[in-house]
Amino acid sequence: MTTTAPSTPGVQLLEVSPEYAGQRIDNFLLARLKGVPKTLIYRILRKGEVRVNKGRIKPEYKLQAGDIVRVPPVRVPERDEPVPLAQGLLQRLEASIVYEDKALIVINKPAGIAVHGGSGLNYGVIEAFRQLRPDAKELELVHRLDRDTSGLLMIAKKRSMLRHLHAALRGDGVDKRYMALVRGNWATSIKQVRAALGKSNLRSGERMVEVDEEEGKESVTVFKVLRRFGDFATLIEAKPITGRTHQIRVHTLHAGHCIAGDTKYGDDNFSKEIRDLGGKRLFLHAYMLTVPLPDGGELKLQAPVDEMWAETVERLSAPI
């Protein structure tokens, strides 16, 4: 990219350099126009105000080296005037770091914190880390976790690391394992769920994911029982082979065992019983991560569950 975004309104013409070839236009703009609300970026895309080589494009358009991107006038905050975030949140996220080197940060994301702003939120993990690491100009999320899911989340500090990890995620180089507390006695025979997933919108406008074998995308999750609590609940490990939205939550439901505290796909009565034990959260946690590093090495990390999770499981296992 040969030009940068000015802080004052004005049309920008951005030439796409080879390192950004293949990136979607919406993600390209989100990274370039830091501080501009995500809703505004999608609005100018939808209205055709963003042009590539003088033509209208869709948000999923993939850039090519040499493309000229026309960006309409938008208000971009100066780097020294980011959206102010509470010191308590910044300190909490700083304390959540489990690994950091010159190219990568991995945190144990707390439940209830979004990974990025949007949908009514002014901030998320990535906005916070852009304040915590102002000298890291290329900070980007490598992948995402649902707002209510806790656990290991990768943030690239360099574009080269982002490309490396995206390639590893597209293949089978990254091993992500989750823990989930589900309703009922999970049968040992259920070792894998293979069910295509598709997205749909409810009348309320809420986005849902459901099994759709005709038009959905192939989705596979491997499961293993970690601990049983009679016929009431089971602690399981989930290893997603594919990376679809809400995949583990919908696959466990498809298997007949929804996740505790899941307000979208769960069982209200089961979740209430878990809440009565002190478990006021979604019981889905990304606890183990193995990733290949560019130098040929391998990074293996584990993240402990939070105190609420641990105490709830302890109460579950206590004799009646």
Task: Please identify every residue annotated as catalytic.
Answer: 146
3-state secondary structure 254-283: HCCCCECCCCCCCCHHHHHHHHHCCCCCCC
3-state secondary structure 140-190: EECCCCCCCCEEEEEEECCHHHHHHHHHHHHCCCCEEEEEEEEECCCCCCC
Q: Which residue has the tokens 């080269």?
A: 160
Token reading at 303: 């993240």
For residues 109 and 113, give the distance between their C-alpha atoms in angstroms, rounded to a whole number. 7
Which DSSP letter does residue 20 get?
G
Q: Which residue has the tokens 């990390």?
A: 301
CB 312 within 8 A of CB 195: no
Which DSSP letter does residue 18 get?
G
The helix, strand and coil proportions of the chain, stated in percent and rounded to the nearest 5, come to: 25, 30, 50
Phi/psi for 76 (5° steps) reads: -110, 125
192 three-class SS: strand
Q: Which residue has the tokens 């026309």?
A: 70
In order of 106, 144, 186, the CA distances from 15 in angstroms are 32, 28, 54
Residue 19 sits at the vertex; the CA angle it makes with 18 and 22, to the nearest 5 degrees, is 80
Residue 168 burial by CB count (10 A; 0-12/13-18/19+): exposed, middle or buried? Answer: middle
For residues 149 and 17, give the distance between their C-alpha atoms in angstroms, rounded to a whole number. 35
